[in-house]
């Protein structure tokens, strides 16, 4: 069970692992919230790769994890994208927006939205920007709004920005403006699940993710 | 209902407005499409039927994306409407369009079924009594398909209340403008611990649709009584 | 105003219409067995069937002409049609069904006319009802009223009386007669009841299997021993035209024919009016000499003009009574016993009461 | 098998049924004006209306009894009903419409019976068609056939001949007569045509506004000058029972009545059979002495039993001809001129051809 | 169609199977519910109608979540079915259930409209001809509502093809087991760069539903011709 935003590199990694270990993997992508609820309802999942820590916390609190299997696998950066190719200092965002919209994922629910809000707040811009925010279901939709010109700016992950040729990164949010963006993973069953998690931390696997724009694990596993 | 916050009230009011508008606005188009499908014999009828059903088959997000492509601020259709003073992007009007499109196949099918059940001999009779085709339609066909129209409205209304996939993709989720009950529920469900708020809104949604349903059932019963069936 | 119909239309591989006839002002009866094509002709005239080819004109102006590509839609023809089934609008009250046509045509409401028709049809108590609960005859009457109220320039009635009782029929027939006589509109009338046909129709078109078998003036057709075979021998009879004379206190009215005077009950026309009188062939008794002490009041001196032996034991005797033609049906045995032969003088005896209101025109 | 009906049912605030009558084997005619409640009674007997209260029994066994809480559903009653409208199943071919009942009841196919009924109704060419394209009369015939093929224990016919031509009627009536005579099942027959009623019915129930106005044996009802008012004076007439004698070469058959012998055409019953003969009152001419040289072959010596003056110019004369009762309708003027009075001896003259097949039972 | 990978083919085949099963399985229940709503006069009819419409009004995720709560591996109903050899959770059978539930209101409405248009007098006639209620239903009512049944099937099928919200929530998105076209499209759209794959699958989905539609139109036309209308 994996967050949908991991789909591309994870597929490749899983293939690689299957070749190496001979184990078949079945990957089920969906939003982290959906996955977490399924797991808490008893879904027969072996590994849970979440896009944020909150849902992993929830699953952990529910007692579903193999103790001590939880690791932070990847990190990501938050960027401001636009269709114009010129960089924009973040502080000028409110002026640049004027009457237009800033596309973000749901600022109270979806991780990318939560991080974005946090960052804007930290930068003291949230008050000015909030009335102009157009929230979308997920990061991809926010990106689409920008790509299609419906909104001039959007806040998305660096990974998304890298995959969409129609937008350019106007600014990157400083790391310290928001809580670290962490993709935690954990095993739900013992055995191969733990092996897979371990494999994801190996160099070849991390390389696949780095290619897609993910940063490495932000710190040593707790 | 003091247990709903002002933002939630806003969402409820907006949902209601969007659903009503979506249902009513799609009615004439649904009627026209149903007529074409039930009575028309033109090349490409099958294709047209498929097009009408498309929003049912496609994941709502796709529909929303297509709407964005067609009516986004950079698309010609979107620009035209904008110039005409009917901006759709990020407006509740866009939510209406999204909801209407999603409910369209349901409405068309309901009306079409009713149309196909109309006794054509009554339309013939109207013609011999001096009623033009338009008048026959208005005074005979339309009243006879009233159950289908009503069913279509109810389905479109209910669908509009429950729709968020296409809506959120097309016009995002802006409190007070495009944040309908369904989007709000969805948002609440994304965050851990949002269940109670989601349940509250779900109940409101159910109450709204129940009211619409009961109204429609009552209207239908009244019509049936009038026909004496 | 005269309707002229000539059309060819294939309804199914097994059945094709191919008819041509004229309907002048007055009633033209379409007569024929079930499945002969009567209703289909009315549908074509009304514009509900588009014939494969042909022409339908009113006073020469085509409402349909396959050659010229003319095909007026039904509502522009202004032909009234009472269908074989009532076809009432289920969502409208009886009153609104009745008024439907006038409103559709933008005609002003006609309360007096409406009241008259409602009264005649006996549907006053039904006005606020929905059609669904009406009895068969009630629905049929509402359908008649609905068509009459549109004031069409042509009226078509498809077995309008099939589900009506005799008394109700007697109330509607005079209305149709007045319509026929005053409005000058052609009426196409489909009926299986020859007495009605004989009473109303000026012309009869006999149909069989989609074709016109015979057509002509009603008086001729009914008095023609050969046509009698098509119409049914029991129904044959002559239609004479008489002048209404005085009505006695006992209710019998003198009707003067060139060949003699009849005393008839139930004459509603005023003195001096000329009315048709139908005398069924089977109601005529022949006597060699005027008998006496008989209850029958009407005797006409006639001469035998023709003798037609049918398939059964009957003989159809054509008579000339002055300038009028009369038909009598007698058994072959009687004909022989009486020595009936062409040219013989006989007395035709008709019971007054055998001629009922259905046989008398309203003048 | 005897049907017994007693029920009370309010159909609308304005109309309530309240009837009680018996229908023994043979034909019971329900007669009454449009809207009198005839179809509603059939619906109640068939189980399609649940009366407010009452009892409907067959030979004492209730199919409905409000007091006992019995209400058999229609399919368990096994009553056949030919509705006033055809009500054919639009999704089935004519053939499958015809066979619907037998299959539903699990009866074996009856090809011979089916062929006979199809032949009689003249619907052979329609078997593979769908009902939607049928003419009015064609659909009516299929509906009759569909009900007949189920072999019901009671048959109800709601104006079955309304849209049929006279010739077709003549083909179906003998079949119903045979059914009536051989199957011993009660038949409820609704018709506005008194000749048919007189020919088929053993009993007549006259309905008005939901109530039974009068009921009794057909012969009595038709010969009763008072009942004649309800049935319509033009339709009154006596039904006599005669014994079929020899048939001559010219097609006339002797029918012996106690009061004399009639020579009638079109008798189909064999020699020695006893058949009903209906003589319409308006077909009888009275003479003080037997006239001569007349084309009418049938004369009966009778005595005047009663004189009823109606509203119009007619007088209904009740006659006794030996043990039989006869009815004659003459004008008041004739009655006066002839000095008709009770007890007077007169000759009743009836034309042979005035008695057609519709007036003759099939024996 | 060599441009579809084996995984994609798997999704197509699965979607097809799920959609067919969902449409056919919900038919008898849809018929029963439509009958109850069209003909029944029982207390709570309005409530029942609301219940039937619920999946239309609720965001699909909510429906899926409710299904998970009701039929999840830890819920009594889910355990019971599991014990009976019909496990639903995270199986394609569960996807069928989700799709069926989502399409149910559409099917019920279509059938109900047809039922209400049936000429009851024909049912009366069948009764007098000796047909029991059940037989009348099978031989008269059912053929007469065939257009509604067909429309209901098409709607349910199309909806099942397009459904992913409830499905993904209830039974996740497991390749080969519960990953239908719609879920796959959804997943592709969430990941960067998945558009082309999404478009390919969308086209397949459209083709499938078009085929179903054309089949249904053809069947309907055939029926109409048989009735001679
Ligand atoms: N459902 C109903 N609601 C109200 N009135 C009704 C209903 N059904 C029948 N009636 C009334 O009951 C009366 C009797 O109807 P019914 O059909 O029995 O008449 P009928 O004798 O068969 O007449 P007809 O010869 O015209 O067929 C009519 O006046 C009719 O309007
Ligand atoms: N749509 C059709 N398809 C096939 N045959 C048809 C169609 N319409 C009519 N017919 C046939 O054409 C013939 C004439 O039908 P029509 O209704 O004109 O008869 P009709 O003279 O009015 O008979 P009736 O006295 O029984 O009403 C019938 O045999 C009928 O079956
Ligand atoms: Mg006809
Ligand atoms: Mg009736």
Q: Tens digits of per-residue pLDDT, D161-208? A: 988 988 888 888 888 888 888 878 899 999 988 878 877 888 999 999
Identify the pLDDT of residue E228.
Answer: 56
Give me the residue label for tokens 């012309």: C203
Atom number of ligand 1 nearest to Cα D38: 21
Identify the pLDDT of residue B157.
Answer: 92
Identify the pLDDT of residue C347.
Answer: 86
Domain boundary among D198, D227, D256: D227
Rounded mean pLDDT of B185-208? 78
- D261 with D217, same domain? no
- Rounded CA gap, B151 and B143, in Å? 13
- C118 with C254, same domain? no
Q: Residue B187 and residue A109: Cβ atoms within 8 Å?
A: yes
- Bridge-partner residues for A182, per DSSP? A75
- C91 with C195, same domain? yes
Atom number of ligand 1 nearest to Cα D12: 4
Residue B146's domain comprises 6-228
CATH number at residue D297: 2.40.50.100
Q: Is C132 on the interface with B (CB under 8 A)?
A: yes
Q: Residue A148 and residue B68: Cβ atoms within 8 Å?
A: yes
Asked whether D136 lines ligand 2 (CB < 6 A), one says yes
* Contact indicator for D4, D22 with CB cutoff of 8 Å: yes
C314 in a structural domain: yes
For chain C, positions 212-241, list CB contacts with chain D under 8 A: 232, 234-235
Give the chain B residue whose CA is nearest to the CA of E215. B46
Asked whether C135 lines ligand 1 (CB < 6 A), one says yes
E1 in a structural domain: no
C318 in a structural domain: yes
Q: Kindly give the distance from the C-alpha atom of residue D133 to the centroid of ligand 3, in angstroms, as a whole number.
A: 11
Give the chain E residue whose CA is nearest to the CA of A142. E190
- Rounded CA gap, A203 and A200, in Å? 8
Q: Kindly give the distance from the C-alpha atom of residue D35 to the centroid of ligand 4, in angstroms, as a whole number.
A: 7
* Contact indicator for A128, A63 with CB cutoff of 8 Å: no
C321 in a structural domain: yes
- Rounded CA gap, D91 and B35, in Å? 23
Per-residue model confidence as pLDDT tens for chain E (229 residues): 446 777 778 888 888 899 999 999 999 999 999 999 999 888 888 888 888 888 888 888 788 888 888 887 777 887 888 788 787 777 888 899 999 999 999 999 999 999 999 999 999 999 999 999 999 999 999 999 999 999 999 999 998 988 887 887 787 777 777 788 887 887 777 666 667 777 888 888 888 888 888 888 888 888 777 665 4
- C16 with C123, same domain? yes
Instruction: Report chain D's mean pLDDT, rounded to a whole number.
Output: 86
- Rounded CA gap, C39 and D134, in Å? 11
Inspect the structure and tell me whether chains C and E have 3 or more CB pairs less than 8 Å apart.
Answer: no
- C135 with C209, same domain? yes
Identify the pLDDT of residue E3.
Answer: 65
C232 in a structural domain: no
Q: Chain D closest CA to E130's CA: distance in Å?
A: 4
D232 in a structural domain: no
B156 in a structural domain: yes
Across the B:E interface, residue pairs with CB atoms under 8 Å apart total 149
- Rounded CA gap, A79 and D233, in Å? 104
Q: Kindly give the distance from the C-alpha atom of residue C136 to the centroid of ligand 1, in angstroms, as a whole number.
A: 8
CATH number at residue D222: 3.40.50.300
- Bridge-partner residues for C30, per DSSP? C190, C205
The residue whose CB lies within 8 Å of the most ligand 1 atoms, and thus the one to mutate among C88, C128, C133, is: C133
Identify the pLDDT of residue D363.
Answer: 45
Which ligand has its closest atom nearest to the C-alpha of D31?
A: 1
- C184 with C244, same domain? no
Rounded mean pLDDT of C227-256? 77
Rounded mean pLDDT of C174-198? 86
Residue D56's domain comprises 3-227
Q: Kindly give the distance from the C-alpha atom of residue D190 to the centroid of ligand 2, in angstroms, as a whole number.
A: 25
- Alpha-helical (H) ranges within chain A are 7-21, 32-40, 53-61, 93-97, 111-122, 126-129, 139-147, 158-163, 192-200, 203-211
Q: Which chains touch B (3 or more CB pairs under 8 A)?
A: A, C, E
- Rounded CA gap, E72 and E97, in Å? 12
pTM (two decimals): 0.88
Phi, psi for residue D27 in degrees, rounded to 5: -95, 125
- Rounded CA gap, E109 and B105, in Å? 13
Inspect the structure and tell me whether chains E and B have 3 or more CB pairs less than 8 Å apart.
Answer: yes
Q: Which chains touch C (3 or more CB pairs under 8 A)?
A: B, D
Describe the crossing of helices C94-105 and C136-148 by its angle, rounded to 10 degrees. 20
Identify the pLDDT of residue D22.
Answer: 94
- C346 with C209, same domain? no
Asked whether C137 lines ligand 1 (CB < 6 A), one says yes
Number of domains in chain D: 2
Asked whether C36 lines ligand 2 (CB < 6 A), one says yes
CATH number at residue E150: 1.10.3720.10
Mutate to test the interface with C, among D141, D249, D351 (most CBs of C within 10 A): D351
- Rounded CA gap, D163 and D142, in Å? 12
Across the B:C interface, residue pairs with CB atoms under 8 Å apart total 81
- D73 with D196, same domain? yes
Pull the structure tokens for residue E210: 């078009």
A111 versus C99: the higher-pLDDT residue is C99
B130 in a structural domain: yes
E47 in a structural domain: yes
* Contact indicator for D16, D210 with CB cutoff of 8 Å: yes
Q: Of D334, D337, D345, whose CA–CA distance to C295 is shortest?
A: D334
Number of domains in chain E: 1
Domain boundary among D192, D227, D262: D227
- Atom 1 of ligand 1, residue of closest alpha carbon: C133
Identify the pLDDT of residue E229.
Answer: 46
Highest mean pLDDT among B152-161, C283-292, D350-359: B152-161
Identify the pLDDT of residue D145.
Answer: 95
Q: Is D40 on the interface with E (CB under 8 A)?
A: no
Give yes or no for residue B127 having a pLDDT over 90: yes
| C-alpha to C-alpha distances, E72 to A32, C44, C72, C338, E68, nearest whole angstrom | 18, 66, 67, 105, 4
- D115 with D7, same domain? yes
Inspect the structure and tell me whether chains A and E have 3 or more CB pairs less than 8 Å apart.
Answer: yes
Asked whether D84 lines ligand 1 (CB < 6 A), one says yes
Q: Residue C263 and residue D333: Cβ atoms within 8 Å?
A: yes
- D112 with D260, same domain? no
Q: Is C99 on the interface with B (CB under 8 A)?
A: no
C83 pLDDT tier (thresholds 50, 70, 90): very high
Identify the pLDDT of residue C245.
Answer: 86
- Rounded CA gap, D335 and C265, in Å? 14
- C189 with C254, same domain? no
D64 pLDDT tier (thresholds 50, 70, 90): very high
ipTM score above 0.90: no
D162 in a structural domain: yes
Q: Chain E closest CA to B183's CA: distance in Å?
A: 8
- SS3 category, A166: coil
- D208 with D304, same domain? no
Domain boundary among D188, D204, D227: D227
- Alpha-helical (H) ranges within C185-286 are 194-200, 218-223, 225-231
């Amino acid at each position: 069970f994996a967050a949908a935003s991991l789909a591309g590199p994870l597929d490749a990694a899983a293939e690689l692992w299957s070749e190496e270990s001979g184990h078949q993997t079945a990957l089920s992508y969906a939003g982290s919230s959906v996955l977490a609820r399924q797991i808490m309802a008893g879904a027969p999942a072996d590994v849970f790769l979440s896009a944020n820590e909150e849902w992993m916390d929830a699953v952990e609190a529910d007692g579903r994890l193999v103790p001590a299997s939880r690791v932070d696998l990847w990190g990501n950066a938050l960027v401001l994208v636009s269709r114009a190719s010129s960089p924009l200092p973040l502080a000028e965002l409110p002026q640049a927006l004027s009457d237009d919209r800033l596309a973000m994922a749901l600022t109270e629910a979806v991780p990318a939205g939560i991080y974005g809000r946090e960052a804007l707040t930290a930068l003291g811009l949230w008050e000015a920007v909030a009335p102009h925010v157009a929230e979308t279901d997920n990061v991809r939709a926010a990106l689409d709004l920008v790509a299609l010109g419906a909104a001039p700016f959007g806040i998305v992950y660096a990974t998304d920005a890298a995959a969409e040729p129609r937008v350019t990164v106007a600014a990157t949010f400083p790391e310290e403006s928001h809580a670290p963006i962490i993709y935690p993973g954990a095993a739900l069953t013992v055995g191969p699940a733990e092996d897979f998690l371990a494999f994801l931390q190996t160099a070849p696997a991390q390389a696949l993710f780095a290619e897609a724009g993910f940063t490495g694990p932000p710190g040593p596993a707790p | 209902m003091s247990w709903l916050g002002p933002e939630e009230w806003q969402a409820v009011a907006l949902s209601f407005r969007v659903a009503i508008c979506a249902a009513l606005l799609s009615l004439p188009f649904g009627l026209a499409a149903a007529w074409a499908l039930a009575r028309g014999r033109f090349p490409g009828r099958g294709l047209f039927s498929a097009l009408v059903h498309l929003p049912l088959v496609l994941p709502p997000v796709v529909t929303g994306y297509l709407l964005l492509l067609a009516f986004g601020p950079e698309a010609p259709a979107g620009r035209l409407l904008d110039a005409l003073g009917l901006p759709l992007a990020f407006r509740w009007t866009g939510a209406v369009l999204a909801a209407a499109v999603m409910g369209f196949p349901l409405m068309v099918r309901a009306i079409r079924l009713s149309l196909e059940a109309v006794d054509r001999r009554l339309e013939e009779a109207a013609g011999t009594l001096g009623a033009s085709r338009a008048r026959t339609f208005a005074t005979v066909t339309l009243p006879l398909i009233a159950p289908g129209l009503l069913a279509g409205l109810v389905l479109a209304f209910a669908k509009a209340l429950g729709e968020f996939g296409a809506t959120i993709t097309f016009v995002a989720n802006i409190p007070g403008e495009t944040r309908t009950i369904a989007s709000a529920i969805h948002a609440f469900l994304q965050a851990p611990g949002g269940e109670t708020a989601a349940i509250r809104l779900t109940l409101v949604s159910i109450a709204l649709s129940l009211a619409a349903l009961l109204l429609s059932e009552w209207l239908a019963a009244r019509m049936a009584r009038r026909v004496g069936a | 105003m005269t309707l002229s119909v000539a059309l060819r239309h294939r309804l199914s591989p097994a059945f094709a219409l191919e008819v041509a006839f004229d309907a002048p002002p007055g009633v033209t009866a379409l007569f024929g067995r079930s499945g002969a094509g009567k209703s289909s002709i009315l549908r074509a005239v009304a514009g509900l069937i588009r014939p494969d080819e042909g022409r339908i004109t009113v006073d020469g102006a085509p409402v349909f002409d396959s050659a010229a590509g003319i095909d007026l839609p039904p509502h522009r023809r202004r032909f009234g049609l009472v269908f074989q089934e009532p076809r009432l609008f289920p969502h409208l009250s009886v009153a609104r069904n009745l008024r439907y046509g006038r409103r559709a045509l933008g005609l002003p409401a006609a309360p007096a006319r409406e009241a008259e028709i409602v009264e005649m049809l006996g549907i006053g108590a039904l006005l606020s009802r929905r059609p669904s609960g009406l009895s068969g005859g009630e629905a049929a009457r509402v359908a008649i009223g609905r068509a009459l109220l549109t004031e069409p320039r042509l009226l078509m009635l498809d077995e309008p009386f099939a589900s009506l009782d005799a008394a109700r029929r007697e109330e509607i027939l005079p209305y149709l007669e007045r319509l026929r006589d005053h409005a000058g509109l052609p009426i196409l009338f489909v009926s299986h009841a020859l007495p009605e046909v004989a009473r109303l129709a000026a012309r009869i078109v006999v149909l069989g299997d989609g074709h016109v078998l015979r057509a002509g003036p009603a008086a001729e057709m009914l008095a023609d021993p050969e046509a009698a075979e098509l119409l049914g021998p029991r129904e044959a009879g002559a239609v004479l035209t008489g002048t209404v004379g005085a009505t006695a206190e006992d209710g019998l009215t003198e009707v003067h024919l060139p060949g003699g005077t009849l005393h008839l009950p139930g004459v509603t026309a005023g003195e001096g009016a000329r009315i048709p009188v139908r005398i069924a062939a089977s109601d005529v008794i022949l006597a060699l000499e005027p008998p006496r002490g008989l209850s029958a009041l009407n005797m006409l001196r006639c001469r035998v003009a023709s003798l037609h032996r049918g398939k059964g034991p009957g003989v159809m005797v054509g008579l000339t009574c002055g300038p009028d033609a009369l038909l009598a049906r007698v058994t072959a045995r009687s004909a022989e016993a009486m020595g009936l032969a062409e040219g013989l003088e006989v007395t035709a005896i008709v019971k007054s009461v055998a001629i009922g209101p259905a046989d008398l025109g309203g003048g």
